[in-house]
Structure formats: structure tokens, C-alpha cells
């Protein structure tokens, strides 16, 4: 699994659906067995706003006290936690959480969660994007609050997840500010976008190549700028992430190509020009191949605004040249 392909990996693993497991915030008695032990550090005193109930992907999660030892196994959640001021409360993040730089990165995996390794960090809150290997239920048995915040399918879900994290960590005011700021900026970008561009585009997730259709989270961002997605006409487009042939892309000849595999697979305008028939693509000839940061393009946290700005800039450049 390449480090920056989290969105594609999640989609292909079929883990975007919300889980329905319930949660308990009751702390179990300490035990010598790490698989059944609750955190042994003293829990922080109850703070204003607690106890609080958060409606997450795994149902209603009750937190009796403000958490002081958070483990994030979701790169998007990690970004959001630091953006809302909960960074000092985070004691460990997964091996894919590469932003911000000060996040306490570990060798833990959100795709292959190890319950014992998680418990060893003595967390009083765990944030996940995927419920793989029934990890939510396993952690629930120990009485550690778990927030399951799956990949957002629309922008409103991204805003809601930030609000969830704010409520759960005692940083509600800052979280609301961040979410409102994101929403305002996205609305402004959409409002100032060129109208009726009739431009087509191709968003590449992986060198294979896998694409994202307009029905996906990333596709909806492109939709704000009036772009038409060539992947929507792919034979297996219904799943949202069709695998396209080089011939399909060459025949569609998109006006814009966005590469979200620049870090994982070192793709660029020069490398894709070497693919069969691609050197003659309009996007290649007209220098309309946009290199994205894989991590930014695969997450649904605060930096989604940066992605939208990059798309908006590309559209404006294409319509004025």
C-alpha cells in the first residue's frame, strides 16, 4: 500500500459505508493483559461541555471527560484535529498521517489496525476512518471511546466530521470556526468560477489508471467549477472509481488532466505523454496537466479548500488562454 493512496485504497476495499456499531464510554478495570486493559493513566478532570454525545459513523459515542490522549488512525482526522486546536491532545497518529509535520507519527496502520498496539498508547479517544478487522467492536469491549469518521461522500459530511471532532475533544468553538471558514471559501470559489466552460477533465488516482467519477467526493469538487468528467462514461463508472484504459482516455481527449499520483507513482506531464496515444492529447499539448499533491487530493479535511483553489486556477487559466 503506497502511503498517499488512502482514498483509492478505501474505495477499492469497500469501506466507505457507515458502520453501525454502538459505543460505550465506560472504563474497564486495569489488567495485566493489554487486550483487555483500559488506559492506566489518570483521566483528565471533567471540563465544561462534558459529558458529550457525538453522532459518528459507529452511532452515538459518549465521552464523559475531555480526552487528553487521542490516537488518530485517519490522516484526514489528524489534519482536522490539529486544525481545530486539538493537536496537544494527540499522542499518536498512523503511518499515513504526514500532515502537519508535528503530528506524532507512528508505525500503526489504519488499514491493518492492531488493537494491542493501539491500547499500548493508553488512549482515552481513538479516531478511525475505517472499521477494518472489526476494530471498533474490539476496542469498544475495552471501554475506550471510538469515533468512526468514514470517507466523506459530500462536502457537508466533511464539515460535519470536523464539528464532531470539535465536540469530542472540547474544541467545539474552533471546530465550528474551521468548518464555517471552509464552507465560505468553497462557496466563494464556486461563485467566482467561470460559467459554461464546457471543459472536460480526467482525474487520475493511480497509474493503473484508476479514475474518479463526478459522483465521488472529489468529483463533486470539480463539479463546482462546471467541469465534465470523462470517467462518467466508463463501462464500470457506477462504482465511482473505474479503471480506464489508455485508449479510453485518448479517445475522450480531456481538456484538463489532474494527476493525483505524482508522489506515489512519480507521474507528470512528461511521463503520461509516453503512454500510447497520450502525447497527442489536448491537455498534454496545451500544457493543461495539473500535478496535485496526492495527500491533499485524497483527503476530505481542511485542505480540501487548497485543492479547490488549484482546480479553480486551472479552469481560469484554461478559459483565458
Cβ contact 201:182 at 8 Å: no
Cβ contact 7:299 at 8 Å: yes
Q: What is the DSSP letter of 29?
A: P
pTM score:
0.85
**What is the spatial distance between Cα 137 and Cα 119, in angstroms, rounded to a whole number?**
14
Q: What is the DSSP letter of 212?
A: -
The CA–CA distances, whole Å, from 220 to 146, 153, 157, 300, 311 equal: 29, 9, 12, 12, 12
**What is the spatial distance between Cα 11 and Cα 120, in angstroms, rounded to a whole number?**
29
Instruction: Name which of 65, 79, 48 is nearest 161 in CA terms.
Output: 79
The reply to whether domains 16-184 and 192-320 share a CATH topology is yes
pLDDT of 164:
97
* Phi and psi angles of residue 225, each rounded to the nearest 5 degrees, phi first: -105, 15
Cβ contact 90:103 at 8 Å: yes
Contacts for 68 with CB less than 8 Å, ≥ 6 apart: 43, 44, 89, 124
What is the CATH T-level fold of the domain 16-184, as seen in this structure? Rossmann fold (3.40.50)
**What is the spatial distance between Cα 290 and Cα 292, in angstroms, rounded to a whole number?**
6
* pLDDT tens for each residue of 62-107: 999 999 999 999 999 999 999 999 999 999 999 999 999 999 999 9
- Beta-strand ranges (E) seen in 111-157 are 125-128, 146-148
Paired with 98 in beta bridges are: none
CB-hemisphere CA count at 13 Å for 67?
34
- Could you tell me the residue ranges of all domains in the chain? 16-184, 192-320
Contacts for 54 with CB less than 8 Å, ≥ 6 apart: 60, 61, 63, 147, 164, 167, 168
> Is residue 36's pLDDT more than 90?
no
Torsion of CA 75, 56, 152, 241, to 10 degrees: 90
* pLDDT tens for each residue of 209-259: 999 999 999 999 999 999 999 999 999 999 999 999 999 999 999 999 999
The mean pLDDT value for 11-28 works out to 33
> Is residue 283's pLDDT more than 80?
yes
pLDDT tier at 30 (50, 70, 90 boundaries)? very low
pLDDT of 111:
93
What is the CATH T-level fold of the domain 192-320, as seen in this structure? Rossmann fold (3.40.50)
Computed over every residue of the chain, the mean pLDDT equals: 87
Helices 172-191 & 75-83 angle (0-180, nearest 10): 110
- Among the residue ranges 96-100, 116-120, 194-198, the one predicted with the least confidence is 194-198
The mean pLDDT value for 283-289 works out to 97
pLDDT tier at 47 (50, 70, 90 boundaries)? low
Residue in the structure block whose three cell numbers are 503512454 = 275
pLDDT tier at 31 (50, 70, 90 boundaries)? very low
Amino acid at each position: 500500500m503506497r502511503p498517499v493512496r488512502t482514498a483509492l485504497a478505501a474505495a477499492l476495499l469497500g469501506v466507505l459505508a457507515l458502520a453501525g456499531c454502538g459505543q460505550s464510554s465506560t472504563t474497564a478495570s486495569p489488567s495485566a493483559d493489554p487486550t483487555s486493559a483500559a488506559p492506566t493513566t489518570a483521566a483528565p478532570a471533567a471540563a465544561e461541555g462534558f459529558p458529550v454525545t457525538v453522532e459518528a459513523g459507529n452511532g452515538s459515542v459518549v465521552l464523559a471527560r475531555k480526552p487528553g490522549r487521542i490516537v488518530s488512525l485517519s490522516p484526514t482526522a489528524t489534519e482536522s484535529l490539529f486544525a481545530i486546536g486539538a493537536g496537544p491532545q494527540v499522542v499518536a497518529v498512523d503511518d499515513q498521517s504526514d500532515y502537519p509535520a508535528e503530528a506524532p507519527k507512528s508505525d500503526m496502520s489504519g488499514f491493518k489496525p492492531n488493537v494491542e498496539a493501539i491500547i499500548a498508547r493508553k488512549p482515552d479517544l481513538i479516531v478511525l476512518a475505517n472499521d477494518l478487522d472489526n476494530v471498533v467492536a474490539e476496542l469498544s469491549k475495552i471501554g475506550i471511546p471510538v469515533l468512526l469518521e468514514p470517507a466523506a461522500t459530500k462536502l457537508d459530511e466533511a464539515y460535519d466530521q470536523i464539528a464532531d471532532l470539535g465536540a469530542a475533544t472540547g474544541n467545539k468553538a474552533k471546530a465550528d470556526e474551521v468548518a464555517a471558514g471552509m464552507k465560505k471559501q468553497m462557496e466563494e470559489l464556486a461563485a467566482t468560477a467561470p460559467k459554461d466552460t464546457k471543459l472536460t477533465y480526467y482525474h487520475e488516482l493511480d497509474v493503473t489508471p484508476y479514475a474518479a467519477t463526478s459522483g465521488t467526493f472529489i468529483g463533486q469538487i470539480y463539479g463546482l467549477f462546471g467541469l465534465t468528467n470523462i470517467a462518467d462514461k466508463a463501462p464500470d463508472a457506477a462504482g465511482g472509481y473505474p479503471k480506464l484504459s489508455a485508449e479510453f482516455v485518448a479517445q475522450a481527449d480531456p481538456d484538463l488532466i489532474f494527476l493525483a499520483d505524482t508522489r506515489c507513482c512519480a507521474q507528470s506531464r512528461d511521463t503520461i505523454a509516453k503512454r500510447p496515444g497520450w502525447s497527442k492529447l489536448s491537455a498534454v499539448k496545451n500544457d493543461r496537466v495539473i500535478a496535485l499533491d496526492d495527500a491533499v487530493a485524497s483527503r476530505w479535511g481542511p485542505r480540501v479548500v487548497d485543492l479547490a483553489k488549484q482546480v479553480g486556477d486551472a479552469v481560469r487559466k484554461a478559459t483565458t488562454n
